[in-house]
Amino acid sequence: MMTEFGKSLGIKETSIPGLLILDLPVHGDSRGWFKENWQREKMLALGLPDLGPVQNNISFNDEVGVTRGIHAEPWDKFVSVASGKVFGAWVDLREGYSFGKVFTAELDASKAIFVPRGVANSYQTLEADTAYVYLVNDHWSPTAEYTFLNLADETAAIKWPIPLENALLSEKDQAHPRLIDVVPMKAKRTLVLGANGQLGLALRKVMPEADFVTRSEFDVTDEAEYKNFPWKQYSTVINASAYTGVDAAETEEGRASAWKTNVTAVGWLARACTENRIRLVHVSSDYVFDGTSSSPYSEDSSLSPLGVYGQTKAAADALVATVPKHYILRTSWVIGEGNNFVRTIASLAERGIKPSVVNDQIGRLTFTQDLATGIHHLLSSNPEFGTYNLCNEGPASSWADIASRVYELTGHNPGDVTGVTTAEYFDGKEGIAPRPLWSMLDLSKIEATGFTPERWEVRLQEYLA
């Protein structure tokens, strides 16, 4: 990429993961020089993380040999020099395989460096009247987690241009611990809301290292919970909490509850994730469509929900889409631990009941095992943010088809299942929500990321076994 001055802006990786050094074009003439010190659009295009600075700090140093550090803070920094020159040293103090790794470089007006959270920063001035500038993406707090390393640590073995005994150091910096005594900065974690639901239980198996929060521990419908929660400890939130009473949502009380849980609360969550630069994963539904299509719905298909539940899920999708880093997983006919269609049909088979089951609603099952694995895949592979359909692969089938298969797999006569239309099944019943008759989802987008869900027939057999 070229600037208007014909000089290249460049970003290079360093030996420390996530620590990026930038070449900044500088234009000069007899009057002095000019540079674009921070240019978000161009820098992001070259791979710089979206810093989102909220504070700009400047450290002015009168003399040569001023040495500061080594400090690691729980936020990202974009460091540059406005005047003068520094020798910079960075040490990875994050928990993990790269702990203790060192990188050094000289910075002047033509160089900048992106310092990720937990990588310790230090510098030594090589010229008088040096102005050291840094943007940070969080406000300083006395209660934040900080980690420090001694400037003279023998393990890091930083080769300071001016020996430390001849440099200008603060007493505080001289008192920092050696590497062997440093407490590594822990990585930000993943939070799962709705820990005891069908998806939450599946995520426990796929992502055991995450923090799982139940409704009793975090009431998603209480706005005060969002204001008091330690969001800065997390890099990802998976929202597996939702109001799922499709028919109950059509009642006066249920309608209010559905909107508060599925829309108002999601709005609070979206705001918290945006303000704290958190990646948000949200689970949507085939009910955002009216079911009148004749081909599988893509992620870009127009939303047209029929009932209250579908309307709340569609509204939530719009709110989550405003979060800069988001994945919306649109799914259908979810089966996991707990009460669900497959368990109900298996119970009817064991009791010798010959049920009537709807045969004009067409779709595919989604087993929470695959939904949870698909979420983990997206978080690990980091494809483009946005909406992804995710259900199990396999043929388009009706609820009656699936019920017959359940009867067969449990050793009963599949002919005991009678197919009826949705209109016939609900005839005479009140308070029934409208159902989309077509719930087939196009999986090509998520499969292009390298994840192909198992066929629903295979998962059904495993589930019943």
Write the pLDDT tens digit of every residue in 61-80. Answer: 999 999 999 999 999 999 99
> Residue 1: is its pLDDT beyond 50?
no
Catalytic residue among 134, 226, 243, 287: 134
* Residue 40 to residue 48: CA distance in whole angstroms: 9
Burial class from Cβ neighbours inside 10 Å (0-12, 13-18, 19+) for residue 402 reads buried
Structural tokens at position 153: 């640590």
- Annotated active-site residue 134? The verdict is yes
Helix (H) or strand (E) holding 201: helix 198-206
d(CA 280, CA 165): 49
> Percent of the chain beyond pLDDT 90?
92
Q: Count Cβ atoms within 10 A of the Cβ of residue 450 and give its class: 0-12 exposed, 13-18 middle, 19 or more buried.
A: exposed
- 102 token code pair: 């060192």
Q: Which two tokens stand for residue 69?
A: 């550090």
Active site residue 71: yes
Query: How far apart are the C-alpha atoms of 267 and 193, rounded to whole Å?
Result: 14
Q: How far apart are CA 149 and CA 68, in angstroms?
A: 11
Q: What is the DSSP string of 98-158?
A: TTT-EEEEEE-TTEEEEE-TTEEEEEEESSSSEEEEEEESS---TTS--EE--TT-TTT--
pLDDT bucket at 7, cuts 50 / 70 / 90:
low
Q: Tell me the helix, strand and coil percentages in the chain, rounded to 5.
A: 30, 25, 45
Strand, coil or helix: what is 365? coil
Closest CA to 317 of 292, 285, 293, 290: 285
What is the average per-residue pLDDT within 170-186?
Answer: 95
pLDDT, tens digit, 9 for 90 and up, residues 262-277? 999 999 999 999 999 9
**Residue the block writes with tokens 């005839």:** 427
Tell me the C-alpha to C-alpha distance, in Å, between residue 338 and each of 196, 282, 311, 343.
10, 21, 25, 8
Determine contact, residues 168/65, Cβ cutoff 8 Å: yes
What is the model's pLDDT at position 6?
Answer: 52
Alpha carbon distance 125, 168 (integer Å): 10
Measured between its terminal Cα atoms, the distance across the chain in Å is 58
DSSP symbols for 41-56: HHHHHTT-------EE
pLDDT, tens digit (0-9, with 9 covering 90-100), for 215-268:
999 999 999 999 989 998 999 999 999 999 999 999 999 999 999 999 999 999
Q: Which domains does the chain have, with CATH numbers?
A: 10-181 (2.60.120.10), 189-464 (3.40.50.720)
Whole-structure pTM value: 0.86
Going by pLDDT thresholds of 50, 70 and 90, the confidence category of residue 5 is: very low
DSSP tag of 385: S
Interval 285-323: pLDDT, tens? 999 999 999 999 999 999 999 999 999 999 999 999 999
CA-angle at 281, arms to 278 and 282, nearest 5°: 130
Strands 147-148 and 67-72: antiparallel
